[in-house]
A and B are shown apart, each in its own frame.
Chain A
Amino acid sequence: MTPPHPIELVCPAGSLPALKTAIDNGADCVYLGFKDATNARNFTGLNFDDKSMAEGVRYAHDRGRKVLLALNTYPQTDNWPSWTRAIDRAADCGIDALILADPGLMAYARKTHPRLRLHLSVQGSATSYDAINFYYERFGISRAVLPRVLSLAQVEHVIANTPVEIEVFGFGGLCVMVEGRCALSAYATGESPNCNGACSPGKHVRWEQTPKGMETRLNGILIDRFADGERAGYPTLCKGRFDVNGETYYAIEEPTSLNTLELLPELARVGVRAIKIEGRQRSPAYVTQVTKVWRAAIDRLQADTAPFRVEAAWMAELNKVSEGQSHTLGAYYRPWK
């Protein structure tokens, strides 16, 4: 069955080359951020200034694609003007929609740029239709990105009870915590996704070869220790091994990626309007590979010529770029919880 609306493929662009390869390989939309704390991937060497953003928007629009700007961190009193200025700059650039989390910023955008389309960021932590409808009624949001916490039946129930388009994460780094409701990084390093746009930031990371193995630390806190021959992963603090009641294990989450490719027909059936690929911090090569596979899968689904089947080659390609080279269905699969 062909869904009433085509599913949009929303791909990450941490740089102009990533943006171009996402567009070239079939992204319907790319999402990006400015080079500062106004977005949740505020990493050195990533993101756009006004000039590269204008070029990116031109590149996408020339090819009939859209550009979404993530302004999804929460400004404080002292830095509020940087965020509102970023909204104005984005509007001047001809961005197609803003991805916002902060209600105050939504009100500003609605008042200052009434025709600009607003998306509720996953950082808004809206997990129920009542929460989503709050933003719809107050600010007229067009779309909401769901946190990675709901089961498929719950996603379906949300969609049935809101006029707002629903976007879900399809692939990439997996936040095990509700986005926007996690201050673990702030606790360990003083910098959080909510306020600084960074989780477990690189400047606090230390890799150290010791007699006990390779140790990874975040602001001095031991996140994991790897034996010789083990692949030492980046110390994202929820993906370390810790000691609980004398047992050492991945107490919160394994280093793994979300991959919902096999759920694609179900996501379409329940009325999901867009699939988001995580990874603005990843390389253009990652963006190329993931975009290609998801474009092929969505096209296959929408061609409606044969029953949808996940190609083994697709999964192999995606596993190559997965964190920890493994993947999970996350909360869509109930036992994961």
Chain B
Amino acid sequence: MKLALGPLLYYWPRQATLAFYADMADAPVDIVYLGETVCSRRHELRLSDWLEVADILAAAGKEVVLSSQVLVESESDLKTLRRIVTNGHFRVEANDMGAVRLLTGGDAPVADWIAGPTLNIFNPATLGMFAELGASRWVAPPEMSRQQIAELRGGLGQPMEVEVFAHGRLPLAFSARCFTARHYNLQKDTCEFRCLQFADGIPLKTREGEPFLTLNGIQTQSAHVHTLLGDLPAVQADGLDILRISPQGEHTAEVIDLFRQALAGQLQPAEALRNARPLLPEAPCNGFWHGRPGVEQLVTA
């Protein structure tokens, strides 16, 4: 089973981002997704910088994928998207139907691309269509359960790589509004790039102090950290191809190591989950995997 490092969802200072990926070149992940998927105002790394990081990681033996932005609003967003799609070297994860059109339309459709988790692919008819259009891998929407994913794979006419969101705060929603700017009474257009101060986003709690969500610019995430570390025997039994680990402010490399050890059978599920706890910015959850509200943590027997 392969491990993938998902795209960086937060906005870190340039040096911190470059240092993080330099570390990842040595980490036991097989695939690295790169690029800005959340907010077009985030410019610490521009596309040309991301392509340089991509070259370094590829030279270190990683499969590199360029992820496209989820919410595309302006012509300038589309221009960036066209540059990503026509990069000519790295495969592309399409996170919006505009990207799918650019990958599949025109005279020279791209033969091989990845259907990202925000395309809302929930059934074999839709996934089969995207497979025919050149998608060779499907990243399941995080809200899908183990059973739903298994049923979809069972109904699919052709073989296809399947990747699941296995670790990280859940990317739950996207908006035109920036909630980080709103917190500081700033407008999005003059946000002062406040996201740079929060390596793991800004925690949002209920009025009785329970951690609930995380504000990450225009994206809203869960407060709890979705992790399948305690569910890996089931994941392995299902024969899924790839597990996605979403970068977190600290300890991403240790989390990757835990996954490797657990997958190799060196750690029991409960032990892996217990060892992970000090590495997480908030308590774990795995409800979505079990077909439950995502916030729940279900202990596997």
Contact = CB atoms under 8 A, between A and B. Distances in A.
The prevalent SS among residues of B at the interface is mixed
A183 B143 contact: yes
Given A74-B120, A194-B143, A252-B220, A177 B295 contact: no
A224 B207 contact: yes
Contacts of A221: 206, 210, 212, 295
A17 B138 CA distance: 44
Contacts of A80: 123-125
Interface in A23-40: none
Shortest 4 CB-CB distances between A and B: which pairs?
A104-B125, A130-B98, A104-B126, A149-B176
Contacts of A130: 72, 78, 81, 97-99, 101-102
Contact of A337 (B72, B74, B177, B294): B177
A292 interface: no
Interface residues of A, number: 68
A126 B293 CA distance: 27
B204 to A, nearest CB: 5
B72 A128 contact: yes
Contact of B187 (A131, A133, A244, A334): A334
Interface string A307-337: 0000000000000000000000001001111
A336 B221 CA distance: 21
Interface of B: 70-75, 77-78, 81, 96-102, 104-105, 118, 120, 122-130, 141-143, 148, 151-152, 154-155, 170, 172-179, 182-183, 187-189, 202-210, 212-213, 215, 220, 222, 287-288, 291-295
Nearest to B180: A244
Nearest to A224: B207
A184 B189 contact: no
A225 B212 CA distance: 16
A305 interface: no
Interface in A239-268: 241-245, 247-248, 251-253
Given A80-B125, A337-B177, 12 more contacts: A77-B124, A125-B120, A130-B72, A130-B99, A134-B100, A134-B105, A150-B176, A178-B173, A178-B176, A184-B213, A186-B294, A253-B177
13 contacts: A126-B97, A130-B97, A134-B104, A178-B174, A178-B175, A183-B294, A186-B143, A186-B172, A186-B293, A187-B294, A188-B293, A194-B122, A251-B215
